[in-house]
Amino acid sequence: MQQPTGFVVKGQEHKVCKLMTIKQWLSSHFEMKDMGEAEYIRGVKIHRDRSRKLLALSQESYIRTILERFKMLDCNPIDTPIAKGEGLSLNMCPKTDDEKREMKGVPYSSAIGSLMYAMMCTRPDL
């Protein structure tokens, strides 16, 4: 075995690099410990039923957190917040300064982004 080109050390040409496995490298750089099976990952609850060979994900706690953050915990679920076939238009936008000021306090894009995360991870029905 030879030292890689460009990494030869003068006076130590007879030495070679010792290869380590990833686990060896990690354990030499970090304290490794077994924390058991994960129950949550980024707000997603992991359900395991080994006897039935079932693995499921749940966003219930994440969705509840979103609803609390945007003060919508007491809202009633509906299929769609707008009548079918009706589109959005400029007439629906806030027009007066008071309406615009009120809408600045509504974190619409943050709420939609939070729901999009849940939709893309585990809730295609959102």
Q: What is the pLDDT of residues 54-82, one digit of tens each?
A: 988 888 888 888 889 988 888 887 776 67
- The ranges assigned to domains in the chain are 40-76+95-121
pLDDT score of 1: 65
Q: Examine the pLDDT at 126 and tell me if it is beyond 60.
A: no
Residue count (the chain):
126
Q: Examine the pLDDT at 121 and tell me if it is beyond 80.
A: no
Q: Examine the pLDDT at 88 and tell me if it is beyond 90.
A: no
Average pLDDT over residues 87-94: 84
pLDDT score of 79: 72
Q: Where are the beta strands (DSSP E) in the chain?
A: 40-41, 44-49, 54-58
Rounded Cα distance between 47 and 98, Å, is 47
pLDDT score of 3: 73
CA R_g for the chain = 27
Tell me the C-alpha to C-alpha distance, in Å, between residue 40 and each of 3, 47, 61. 45, 9, 10
Share of the chain above pLDDT 90, in %: 10
In this prediction the pTM is: 0.52
Quote the tokens at residue 113: 């982004």
Rounded Cα distance between 59 and 30, Å, is 31
Q: Examine the pLDDT at 51 and tell me if it is beyond 90.
A: yes
